[in-house]
Chains A and B, each alone.
Chain A
Amino acid sequence: MKNNFLLEIKELRASIDTKEILKGLNLEVGPGEIHAIMGPNGSGKSTLANVLTGREIATVTHGSVTYDGHNLLEMSPEERARDGIFLSFQYPIEIPGVSMVNFMKTAVNEQRKHNGLEPLSASDFLRLMREKKELVEIDSALTNRSVNEGFSGGEKKKNEIFQMAMLEPRLALLDETDSGLDIDALRIVANGVNKIRRPDTSVIVITHYQRLLDYIVPDFVHVMYDGRIVKSAGPELALELEERGYDWIRKEADVSEESWTTDRK
């Protein structure tokens, strides 16, 4: 039965090896909403991205994740991707020998197959690539190469956004997309995201810093601390964090004695 939310996370607990990282996380994302998730290092932000994309490194021990009415945790990573979940990786990996064209054509056609569409012809595909390259202002030189091979940090991030444009996801996860970018690259990347978004595209922006949120203005800002979301509010929360840091959040949050004795500065 479909309900209003695209993504519903309830009391999610997850571990990496035997260490519990997510300790009862709750989140609801509706279609077309932009959510920012902020928090200090070690709060579990990347683990959340891992769980949502199905990376084996994270083991879910409790809770549920519902995506478009389906149990997301039962889906393989590629099924989740074909169903419209896209992750812009924090550290995009290089795949030498595999051309961007070949890679994207395979990805695009897999998604089309999943949606009952015919694969794109070679000429239609190249046309799509040209269109999206212009949209996100990515250099042709990059898309003629092997996947991420020899790309600088900024180029890799732009390439993530280019792929996002090609795949038109319903739920985009941007994992620290702003890290390693100078102010101009940041602007281009953010513009790209804003141009790609459709009215029903949801975005979760995982970030430390306020500045990306100047360009991708969130509807909701959440703060993660010690594996849970401890505070949620509107975009003004991000500005407050910028001014005051995270300490006041820690004090406000309902944390156990054990967590307090752990060194967190």
Chain B
Amino acid sequence: MENEQDKIISDVTSGEYKFGFVTDIETDVIPVGLSEDVVRLISSKKEEPEWLLEFRLKAYRHWLTMKMPTWANLKIPEINYQEISFYAAPRQKIAPSSLSDVDPELIKTFNKLGIPLEEQKHLTGVAVDAVMDSVSVKTTFRETLAEMGIIFCSFSEAVKEHPSLVQKYLASVVPYTDNFFATLNSAVFSDGSFCYIPKGVRCPMELSTYFRINASNTGQFERTLLIADEESYVSYLEGCTAPMRDENQLHAAVVEIIAERGAEVKYSTVQNWYPGDKDGKGGILNFVTKRGMCKGDDSKISWTQVETGSAITWKYPSCILRGNNSVGEFYSVAVTNNHQQADTGTKMMHIGKNTRSTIVSKGISAGFGQNSYRGLVKVLGKAEGARNFSQCDSLLLGHNCGAHTFPYLEVDNPTAIVEHEATTSRIGEDQIFYCNQRGISTEDAIGLIVNGYAREVLNKLPMEFAVEAQKLLQISLEGSVG
């Protein structure tokens, strides 16, 4: 019996990914395939110094000895690295000094995505680095920030203008040998964001990078490096979308954060890469290595993520709690709908004394989605007084999705206190009907329930983005209750 609900569902499941458009712009693309020559070509296109080329080549040679790991709870389609182009860049001047230097098509693109490239007065709270196809298009508010000694620019520029800083910290948290995808990234990364907050400075605005994939048949390999010097503070946000395509696209990024003594970094991600269509065709393959080092005493790193996109998500934002009294936090909402798969979680390594970590993971599965939480809490022998609290919740919508939890606890110090809680629940038709009978539509009911469920995580996002994330959650689950 066709009724209102069915109509709403079919209206909404078609064309719901509103970021699926393609920008018509001249793009510099190198031919497909990966070899030492390709690595050299990428490095030369970016006019990099010798030491960085050497870093890439070391990584590439090491990558040739590695095999893609298969331990994750994911069905990964065959990736042919010789059929991917490893460099694509919108053809325009690097680091335009004014908006008039930026291709109007790009400005239109980012306007459509709601990302301000102009330094609008009412948005002085947010500086944006816009990255299209792994090339930084424009970074706003650079001068304002520079006055405080804050460096916020594209990675490529940082290599040119602040080479010693880059050399000091690059690969200090994620070594080039770390894992298959991080090694690949170290060989072929094109761009990303670089951020340095000097001693004692509290960054006055949110810094954000917006990643947009445009060109087809390319892999995207961003590299972000964020350094918070002693007693500094920064809140950073990363957003991602990509066009709708039939083929999978590979995205393997690396993010390194260093927090020196007394520093605090909040890193938030709202990931909305194209998730593939409702039959599981296409979509981004998202393999990311993110790690923060609480290097100094009393330092703190918090990861907050809202993951609604990608066909496959494989990422474990982690904290190495080296400094005494350092704090690591991980707050995550991950959605898998239709045929999406996610194997995501975190690693908290307690090394210093009196370190604390908090993990709150909320998985939401719908359609045929498979959502796995994988977390490691490791307390080393010398880590006196370590404290961890972990909460892993799963919410299932419908009868065909899956939620899995793989917690690992490795505790080598007897003074540690480690707590782990887990719940699994469903949104039932009864709950939806109860809301309907109070005049609330099915979509709004799901929105209410999912937001109540994810509230603890959403509250950790900077306010401007919390509202967007809430809407995104609701949209990503439309048509999912059956």
Contact = CB atoms under 8 A, between A and B. Distances in A.
Contact of A59 (B1, B425, B430): B1
Given A82-B439, A93-B434, A97-B453, A103 B448 contact: yes
The contact size tier of chain A is 20 to 34
Contacts of B442: 78
Contacts of A98: 448-449, 452
B444 interface: yes
The contact size tier of chain B is 20 to 34
Interface in A110-156: 110-111, 114, 146-147
Interface string B184-209: 00000000000000000000000000
Contacts of A107: 435, 438-440
B428 A93 contact: yes
Interface string B429-441: 0110111111111
Contacts of A69: none
Contacts of B453: 96-97
B399 interface: no
B282 to A, nearest CB: 33
B459 interface: no
B440 A95 contact: no
Contacts of B431: 93-95
Contacts of A207: none
B427 to A, nearest CB: 9
B455 interface: yes
Nearest to A94: B431
Nearest to B453: A97
Interface in B440-474: 440-442, 444, 448-449, 451-453, 455
Nearest to B454: A97
Given A93-B431, A98-B448, A102-B448, A110 B4 contact: no
A114 B437 CA distance: 14
Contacts of A167: 438-439
A59 B1 CA distance: 9
B394 to A, nearest CB: 13
A78 B439 contact: yes
B234 to A, nearest CB: 31
A77 B433 contact: yes
Contacts of B97: none
B455 A106 contact: no
A110 B448 contact: no
Contact of B449 (A76, A92, A95): A95
A73 B438 CA distance: 17
A156 to B, nearest CB: 11
B4 A76 contact: yes
Contact of A77 (B1, B428, B436, B452): B436
A209 interface: no
A172 B1 CA distance: 27
A215 interface: no
B448 A111 contact: no
A55 interface: yes
B3 interface: yes
A92 B434 contact: yes
A90 to B, nearest CB: 12
Contacts of A99: 452
Contacts of B430: 93
A92 B435 CA distance: 11
A87 interface: yes
A232 B251 CA distance: 71
A53 B444 CA distance: 18
Given A59-B1, A87-B437, A106 B444 contact: yes
Given A81-B438, A106-B440, A110-B439, A96 B425 contact: yes
Nearest to B430: A93
Contacts of B455: 97
Contacts of B434: 89, 92-93, 95, 147
Given A93-B430, A95-B431, A97-B455, A77 B449 contact: no
B82 interface: no
Contacts of B437: 53, 77-78, 81, 86-87, 89
A163 interface: yes
A94 B425 CA distance: 12
Nearest to A80: B437
A76 to B, nearest CB: 4
Contacts of B449: 95, 97-98
B448 A81 contact: no
A54 B431 CA distance: 14
Contacts of A86: 437
Contacts of B4: 76, 79
Contact of A146 (B435, B438, B452): B452
Contacts of A53: 437
A233 B480 CA distance: 47
A82 B441 CA distance: 10
A181 B430 CA distance: 23
Contacts of A54: 436
B5 interface: yes
B420 to A, nearest CB: 20
A65 to B, nearest CB: 15
For the complex of A and B, list the 4 residue pairs with the smallest distance between their C-beta atoms, beginning with the closest. A97-B452, A77-B436, A81-B439, A107-B438
10 contacts: A86-B437, A93-B434, A95-B452, A96-B452, A96-B453, A99-B452, A102-B448, A107-B440, A110-B441, A167-B438
Given A77-B436, A93-B430, A95-B449, 6 more contacts: A54-B436, A81-B437, A95-B448, A103-B438, A106-B444, A110-B438
